[in-house]
């Protein structure tokens, strides 16, 4: 029976621990927001827009950028484009870097090309913005100033535009995005003094950007860059007074986005979270432990799947004589996490998903199962995928 007991603990304990931390992080992120003050002049800022076949949206994006400030310039990297992204961006007044390298594809390579271009006249801060995103002047100023004054990479609140008329699966995805990119980011900042970079709406001081490992072909180059900076003792800062918005993708596009990002995230977490946890634990580095636990929390739907599988296996093993209390602890922790999610929806999520839509969460999990089955069969996507616009 000892072997069965150890098996139950090995299955349930890790999932229970990361679920418990998820709940703690969500509750921490729901505490009242603190006032932030922007201090100092608007630094010289370069907005870098990596763009791959974005002719349909790049003109509107550039027209809406707060580029009237003399301290702001815009650089569009037309990366391996097969359309007129470069021509449209140039006509809109942006500096354009054209990059064609079929063997070296990925956002990290696009950022490296922008870095080479900017070295001739470096800005104080580089702000990275996706080709379909929107940022207002107040947010840009707060974000850029925070990076310049702290000498740390800084991340804005990066959300998908709410649309209660969208398909239920899109609404739930938007709500999950809110949990990850606002509530958990805020919680991580309060627990560990750091945040993750999310790829858009991130500001990086020039000296940091100039020396950083930009991710190359890493499919989650933003996550990799944030973890690299954390290892260099300059973890990213979460700026709650800055917002960047992206349009919601259609249901098919949402699956494309999630397959790319979740696959890359899971691969990175499996590789980096265990050694980061052990290293921080033995150094009595509590913020480092929190950071590793945050990285170990899988995407929301996968967390539900793992809890369900662990529960079913735990129950089966308990019926043949194994320990029962680990299953009871897991159920209690899962209920607390469910309460945290419900409270998050009441506090900040109702404009992203209706209550009736959230009742379809089990269907959403089933809808995403092909992603996880595909990752098991084919591994992580290797290309810089984009959803349909």
Q: At what angle do helices 2-29 and 325-344 cross, to 10 degrees?
A: 20
Whether 334 contacts 307, CB under 8 Å: yes
Predicted local distance difference test score (pLDDT) of residue 6? 79
Q: Residue 79 has which token pair?
A: 């990366």
149-158, 216-225, 319-328: segment of lowest average pLDDT: 216-225
| Average pLDDT, integer, range 18-34 | 90
Predicted local distance difference test score (pLDDT) of residue 376? 62
What does the alpha-carbon distance between residue 333 and residue 121 come to, in Å, rounded to a whole number?
Answer: 53
User: Is it the case that residue 51 has pLDDT exceeding 60?
Assistant: yes
User: Is it the case that residue 29 has pLDDT exceeding 90?
Assistant: yes
In the chain, the largest separation of any two C-alpha atoms, in whole Å, equals 73
| CA distances for 344 relative to 149, 231, 323, angstroms | 32, 31, 33
Predicted local distance difference test score (pLDDT) of residue 152? 94
DSSP 305-339: HHHHHHHHHHHHHHHTT--SHHHHHHHHHHHHHHH
294 CB-near residues (< 8 Å, 6+ apart): 21, 25, 184, 188, 191, 192, 196
Whether 106 contacts 221, CB under 8 Å: yes
pLDDT in tens, 260-316: 667 777 778 888 889 989 988 898 989 999 999 999 999 888 899 899 988 888 888
CATH superfamily label, 45-167+194-248: Spore Coat Polysaccharide Biosynthesis Protein SpsA; Chain A (3.90.550.10)
pLDDT in tens, 67-119: 656 678 999 999 999 999 999 999 998 999 999 987 887 788 899 999 999 99
| Average pLDDT, integer, range 20-34 | 89
> Model's pTM, two decimal places?
0.87
178 CB-near residues (< 8 Å, 6+ apart): 159, 344, 348, 349, 352
Domain borders along the chain are 45-167+194-248
What does the alpha-carbon distance between residue 233 and residue 235 come to, in Å, rounded to a whole number?
Answer: 6
pLDDT in tens, 187-244: 999 999 999 999 899 999 999 999 888 766 555 677 878 888 888 778 999 999 999 9
What does the alpha-carbon distance between residue 47 and residue 144 come to, in Å, rounded to a whole number?
Answer: 10
């Amino acid at each position: 029976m000892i072997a069965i007991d150890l098996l139950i603990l090995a299955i349930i304990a890790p999932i229970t621990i990361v679920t418990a931390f998820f709940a703690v992080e969500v509750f921490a992120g729901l505490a009242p927001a603190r006032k932030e003050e922007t201090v100092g002049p608007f630094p010289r800022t370069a907005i870098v827009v990596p763009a791959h076949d974005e002719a349909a949206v790049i003109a509107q994006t550039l027209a809406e950028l707060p580029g009237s400030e003399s301290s702001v310039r815009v650089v569009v990297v037309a990366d391996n484009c097969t359309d007129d992204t470069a021509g449209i961006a140039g006509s809109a007044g942006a500096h354009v870097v054209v990059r064609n390298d079929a063997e070296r594809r990925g956002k990290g390579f696009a950022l490296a090309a922008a870095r080479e271009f900017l070295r001739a006249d470096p800005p104080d801060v580089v702000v990275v913005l996706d080709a379909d995103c929107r940022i207002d002047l107040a947010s840009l100023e707060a974000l850029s100033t925070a990076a310049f004054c702290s000498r740390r990479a800084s991340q804005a609140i990066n959300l998908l535009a709410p649309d209660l008329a969208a398909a239920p699966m899109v609404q739930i995805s938007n709500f999950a995005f809110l949990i990850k990119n606002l509530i958990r980011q805020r919680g991580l900042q309060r627990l560990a003094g750091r945040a993750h970079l999310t790829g858009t709406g991130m500001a990086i001081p020039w000296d940091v950007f100039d020396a950083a490992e930009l991710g190359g072909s890493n499919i989650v180059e933003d996550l990799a860059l944030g973890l690299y900076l954390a290892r260099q003792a300059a973890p990213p800062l979460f700026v709650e007074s800055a917002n960047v918005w992206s349009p919601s993708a259609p249901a098919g596009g949402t699956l494309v986005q999630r397959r790319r990002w979740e696959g890359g995230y899971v691969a990175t977490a499996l590789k980096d979270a265990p050694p980061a946890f052990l290293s921080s634990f033995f150094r009595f580095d509590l913020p480092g432990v929190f950071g590793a636990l945050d990285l170990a929390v899988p995407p929301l739907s996968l967390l539900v799947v793992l809890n369900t599988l662990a529960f079913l296996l735990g129950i089966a093993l308990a019926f043949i004589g194994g320990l029962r209390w680990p299953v009871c602890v897991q159920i209690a922790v899962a209920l607390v996490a469910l309460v945290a999610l419900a409270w998050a929806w009441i506090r900040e999520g109702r404009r992203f998903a209706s209550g009736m839509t959230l009742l379809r969460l089990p269907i959403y999990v089933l809808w995403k199962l092909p992603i996880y089955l595909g990752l098991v069969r084919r591994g992580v996507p290797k290309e810089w995928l984009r959803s349909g616009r």
